[in-house]
Structure 1
Amino acid sequence: MKFKVGDQTDGALCAVLAHEFLLCTESFERFAHFGKLNILGKRDKRTKISSHNAYARFLHHLYEFYVGCWKRDRHDTSDIPCTMRDQMFNAEVVKLLKNKIDAIKGGYAPIWENHISAYQIEVPSNFGEQLRQVRNRTAHSSIKRSACGTDLSLAKFYEACHPFVYLLYYVGQGMWTVKDIEAYDWKEIEQFDLAIQG
């Protein structure tokens, strides 16, 4: 469905994006918490499962957040074909890496910025496809979740692609983190709250 920025559909989509990014942040913070426990030696099965689940949810919400942002950019809520989404994810990461490099070279990067070498890395040509596949595998009941051999597992994806995923997440924080959760209009979520009080 086509829409204009500022109309009712756009407002609803903005609420969805803010919520999706909130879910993304909660999942990432949960993953970081369990990662810290793991580093400190707490390696029981429950901690491992919780860490895996949190990272899978993080990828799921990050993926959906970006797809929603692109729909907003296009002023159209209709589905974006998966092959186009794959290319869009690749192009987005390449653009973000270039922006970081340009800021460092130009002298306008913050003083706490990573060394330029952290961003002078090649994005795998199938990054977007891998992100979609991992997101799908962890979001559905499928034996592909326990992929072995040459199939892409969550562990292999993390090892190969986490810097790109984290860059996508980091950039989204500045624009979509809701500072005042109480004042924000959460639309359908508010209606749900009223319904369960009923």
Structure 2
Amino acid sequence: MDTRRVCVLPGYANSGPDHWQSRWEDADPMFVRVSMPDWDNAVCEAWCDTLDVVVDAAEEDPILIAAHSLGCLTTVFWAAHCATPDQLAKIAGALFVAVPDPASVSFPSEAHGFANVPLVPLPFPTIVVASTDDPYCRIEFAQRCAGAWGSRFVNIGPRGHINAESGLGDWEEGRRLLASLLD
């Protein structure tokens, strides 16, 4: 990985210390968490506004996004409905891990405004990583999103919600996938 800034976008309730996102941040100062206004009551518009401010403030080379769960949906809604062409030009690519399905019975009731996921091509390279036993998303939904967004799709088998409970540790495979967005 080069010295490019990586915006880390956790999902609902944030990512704890054992989550791969937190471990990546601890290991590399170029990984910076985007702090959402309320981790436990996620509102799509407020989360998109926060991402908007972060991207506007980015002055270095185009940034990468490492998103998990609702962080993925936030990035997609932002890119499809909020971002300007100048802002989109600042994004080198995005890694979307464990995209949740807002229609799933497991989707958090404290998350609002994430229904009707934009299924449009995204203007930067993306990779969707999904698990065959994610309680928040059937693999078919993740594949449909990847196809609509123009994303590379990676099925990592039965790894749950691809979070700390999945036992991924530093998840070097994920770091390699993120780096591959720059190839």
The TM-score with structure 1 as length reference comes to 0.28
Greater RCO, CA 8 A, separation 6+: 1
Structure with more strand by fraction: 2
Structure of higher CA gyration radius: 1
The TM-score with structure 2 as length reference comes to 0.30
Structure with more helix by fraction: 1
